[in-house]
């Protein structure tokens, strides 16, 4: 884009690209040992039931506290971790921490109803042969039932997935682990294809939520979301919406029949203590 806009901007774009490449190189070098150095941490963002406003769970979102660059979001290092293979031990670590955290919440808020933890899986983890056994072991060590866990896999990771890729997901789903299709609506998956996938939850991408910003929203956007929700429900899938930033969006999405919501309107991702507070407010009304 900048390259076609004249000489100066051309140089600027190149310099930026260089700076990014240098940082990327530095990150790639530091990444393999960052896990051993304890530089990763997890923030949790509540999942709220649109019908009654109760907190039903949380999504685990990993961050890297880099000694020079400060806190880095997953978009900065997950692709590198996938590239270098670190994603497998990192993903296992995230899963173990999150499941333990979920058990703590359940113990402290046993009156607040079933609490579930959502953990993102990258495609590399799906093809790793240890996935099912690692998950079983982690749940057992934490004394948690499989239905306390939901694994999020992006729609794009499952487009055209063959049976070899779906098999571990199917085994996990058979055990009672929920599988959610993340960022749904951004890929080009055939809706009829959903029947083939062992998923029980659709997570509607933030782009849909954004189009609900105005109240009333664009009637065509409403129709699209309404159609997706009705198809999902007819296939017995629950619908979660991400990126809810305003009360108007939440209301519109509730009217359209979405089940659960997540977004800054309820809470930004934060440390586990914040969820304790939210769950307490929730339990006491």
How far is the C-alpha of 103 from the C-alpha of 58, rounded, in Å? 12
Identify which of residues 136 and 265 has a Cβ nearer to ligand C2E in the complex: 265
Exactly one of 165, 245, 246, 270 binds ligand C2E (CB under 6 A); that residue is 245
How far is the C-alpha of 125 from the C-alpha of 59, rounded, in Å? 18
Smallest distance from the beta carbon of 263 to ligand C2E, in angstroms? 3
Structure tokens at 171: 């085994």
Smallest distance from the beta carbon of 207 to Mg ion, in angstroms? 9
Residues in region 129-158 near Mg ion by CB under 5 A: 152
> Is the CB of residue 87 less than 8 Å from the CB of residue 123?
no
Identify which of residues 96 and 282 has a Cβ nearer to ligand C2E in the complex: 96
Assess 120 for contact with Mg ion (CB under 5 A): yes
Exactly one of 46, 57, 243, 272 binds ligand C2E (CB under 6 A); that residue is 243
Assess 260 for contact with Mg ion (CB under 5 A): no
- Of all helices (H) and strands (E), which one includes residue 277? helix 272-283
What is the 3 state secondary structure string of 82-150?
Answer: HHHCCHHHHHHHHHHHHHHHHHHHHHHCCCCCCCEEEEECCHHHHHCCCHHHHHHHHHHHHCCCHHHEE
Smallest distance from the beta carbon of 89 to ligand C2E, in angstroms? 12
Smallest distance from the beta carbon of 205 to Mg ion, in angstroms? 6
User: Cα 181 to the chain's mean position, in Å?
Assistant: 9
Exactly one of 97, 120, 252, 260 binds ligand C2E (CB under 6 A); that residue is 120
Structure tokens at 162: 């063959």
- Site of interaction with ligand C2E (CB under 6 A): 45, 61-62, 73-75, 78, 91, 94, 120-122, 152, 182-183, 242-245, 262-264, 269
């Amino acid at each position: 884009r900048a390259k076609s806009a004249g000489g100066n901007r051309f140089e600027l774009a190149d310099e930026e690209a260089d700076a990014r490449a240098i940082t990327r190189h530095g990150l790639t070098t530091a990444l393999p040992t960052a896990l051993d150095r304890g530089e990763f941490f997890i923030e949790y963002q509540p999942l709220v039931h649109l019908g009654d406003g109760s907190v039903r769970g949380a999504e685990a979102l990993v961050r890297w506290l880099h000694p020079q660059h400060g806190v880095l979001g997953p978009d900065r290092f997950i692709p590198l971790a996938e590239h270098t293979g670190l994603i497998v031990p990192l993903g296992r670590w995230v899963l173990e921490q999150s499941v333990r955290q979920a058990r703590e919440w359940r113990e402290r808020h046993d009156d607040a109803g079933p609490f579930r933890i959502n953990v993102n899986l990258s495609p590399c983890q799906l093809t790793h042969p240890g996935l099912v056994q690692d998950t079983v072991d982690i749940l057992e060590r934490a004394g948690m039932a499989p239905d306390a866990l939901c694994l999020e896999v992006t729609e794009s990771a499952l487009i055209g997935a063959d049976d070899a890729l779906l098999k571990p997901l199917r085994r996990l789903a058979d055990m009672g682990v929920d599988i959610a299709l993340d960022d749904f609506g951004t890929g080009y998956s055939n809706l009829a294809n959903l029947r083939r996938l062992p998923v029980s939850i659709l997570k509607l991408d933030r782009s849909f939520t954004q189009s609900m910003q105005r109240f009333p929203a664009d009637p065509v956007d409403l129709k699209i979301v309404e159609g997706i929700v009705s198809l999902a429900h007819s296939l017995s899938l629950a619908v979660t919406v991400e990126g809810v930033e305003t009360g108007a969006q939440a209301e519109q999405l509730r009217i359209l029949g979405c089940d659960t919501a997540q977004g800054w309107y309820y809470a930004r991702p934060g440390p586990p203590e914040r969820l304790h507070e939210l769950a307490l407010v929730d339990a006491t009304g």
